[in-house]
Chain A
Amino acid sequence: MNMPLRTTESISALPAATAQVLAIPAKPVSLLPRLRTIAGNVALRVIPPIIVIACILAVWEVLCSRPGASLPPPSKVLEDTWELIVDPFFDRGGLDKGLFWHMSASLQRVALGYALAAGVGVALGTLVGQSTWAMRGLDPIFQVLRTVPPLAWLPLALAAFRSGQPSAIFVIFITAIWPIIINTAVGIRNIPQDYRNVALVLRLNQFEYFFKIMVPAAAPYIFTGLRIGIGLSWLAIVAAEMLIGGVGIGFFIWDAWNSSRISEIILALIYVGLVGFVLDRIVAAAATIVTRGTAAN
């Protein structure tokens, strides 16, 4: 690999020319087997979950179809909630809205609270990671506060904001911020001395150092925090909304329970799970794109 360029160039010049000629007829032939392997890989990933889900549904159906069963079987759930599934966009005023509107209200709260948590969390984490004094001062407080359950903040937030909406956003914020702070701080503290030396030799100023060395070097850690944070946010929103009321998937579930519409609860739970999964994937995908190359050292 370390031969002088002259040698590599003269060698690579020849095969490159011949390879071009060969590649054209080779392409259509190789397309079909490649498609077949892709299809095979997809099947390998898709078939096992389908089988397992089918089994679970079958057991559930059998168990809950007995007379006197307290929970509805899947067939009943589907039947009861068919209207909600096929038309998630209806809006009959008040709280009588389609699931899309409930979901979107919840997602908006999470988006706001989580964005705040991400901004403040990365900033505070950077401070704690950079300054030993700040770490000694703030770390004990963080360690205590992060163990407070999200919902315990809600009464305090309601007292402070006197309104449900900002309180719910605050609960999301306070839930998501701790893993973001702690992971960012660890990431900043773990920046190798080598990178710091490079910055010193180049005389990067604080601003350049932050954006060109610190953020990319700590990015894998920051994203770990962000990913834990989004999961916790989604966990907290359902609980918070059950208490504050209004439009939102949490209150939808609570409302369904109060009117004994068990099938709707089950449908909502499935949606909550799927959305949570998608949120996690989105942050994970963002992490892969942003930290590409950092991990592969």
Chain B
Amino acid sequence: MGKKSLVVLVLILCVGLLLMGCPKKTVVKEEPGMKRAEEAVAEREKAARLEAEKEARAKELAKIREEEARQAKEKEKEFEKSLVAKREPGIAGEVFESRLLKDIRFDFDRYDIRPEDADILKENAALLMQYPEVKIQAEGHCDERGTAEYNLALGERRANAAKKYLISLGITADRISTISYGEEKPLDAGHDEEAWAKNRRGHFVILSK
């Protein structure tokens, strides 16, 4: 009985020791456990937030893309809408003109592209980039002064100067043909500097859409 009692006592003591030691240890152990839980919650919340944000961004992006697509479509419509068919008696074929494909001008007896016209050609090139199927013809025109024949040579040079510039902006050469009309097709029938300035031009027509 005495031996059994001792074992029980030892056990009790052990348990007592365990019990005595346990509270401290439990406190120590319990603190990090609680923190992890909080962090997990926070992380979950954060993830959710990020997810939401991401979703929102994606939605926003989609919206922007949609808007862009809509705008592009509208622009396309605008370009399509801007095309005006042009038939000239005695000159083969139907061509189109667009106010989005803008004219450039030249100084008297010159065929170099002026800085302000370089910007116009950049816009024209951007438009052509957007519509890779479009083929154009660059027309060189002159004012009435000087002889018709020399003006025809000058117009040839002007049309080719415009073509070269568009090529330098990345438009392939096979999309641009040239023609010189010399002084034969004035825009303004007047005989003053104002009319002459308008008539010294590079004009672009669309041969195929």
User: Do A and B associate with each other?
Assistant: no
Question: Which residues from chain A sit less than 8 Å from chain B, CB to CB?
Answer: none
